[in-house]
Amino acid sequence: MATLASIITALETKFETLTSGTETTIKYADTDVIAAGAMKYQIQAQLDTTDSGDSNVTYEVGRIQLIVNYHLAAWNAEDTYTHGDMLTWQSAVMDEDWWIAIAGIYDMEEGPELSTDVERVGNVIRWAVLVQFQIVPT
């Protein structure tokens, strides 16, 4: 049976494959330092149980917010990142099929959608995607 933890592990692998070529690490705290030219991300997750409307099946529903923080290699590198890697990564994670291909995800309930505006603070650009999905039933 798929669990939210196994889906998160699969998401980490899939996202790190997508962003290969960039120094990518999971970010556990907002105070983590991000080196210039590197990216760190957070995965915030929640699990609920819901009745799908089918009296024979109750699905667990997962919600994941993927938060990406990229430290520009130089103060004037914003266009290079936002029109290059960021656009490529966002295009991938905004595709419903990208998420459904993750082992354990049965169907999408909501999203993917940008859950925050793209913002720049100093030399760090931050954006986030929110999804809600059904976990493969037992």
pLDDT of residue 99: 95
CB 49 within 8 A of CB 112: no
Mean pLDDT of 49-67: 77
Q: Is the pLDDT of residue 138 over 70?
A: no
HSE at residue 106, side-chain half, CA atoms within 13 A, is 17
Q: Which residues of 112-137 are buried (b: 16+ CB within 10 A; e: fewer)?
A: beeeeeeeeeebebbbbbbbbbbbbe
**pTM of this prediction?**
0.87
Angle between helices 85-93 and 4-18 (to 10 degrees): 150
Mean pLDDT of 37-57: 79
Over 57-103, what HEC string results? CEEEEEEEEEEEEEECCCCCCHHHHHCCHHHHHHHHHCCHHHHHCCC
Per-domain residue ranges of the chain: 4-135
Q: Copy the structure tokens of residue 124.
A: 């760090």
- Does domain 4-135 fall into CATH 3.40.228.10? no
Q: Which residue has the tokens 């529903």?
A: 61
Whether the upstream peptide bond of residue 137 has omega within 30° of 0, thus cis, is: no
User: How does pLDDT run across 85-137, given as a tens digit for each residue?
Assistant: 899 999 999 999 999 999 899 889 998 999 988 999 889 999 999 999 988 87
pLDDT of residue 60: 86
Q: Is the pLDDT of residue 51 over 60?
A: no
Using alpha carbons only, give the angle 93, 99, 101 rounded to the nearest 5 degrees.
130
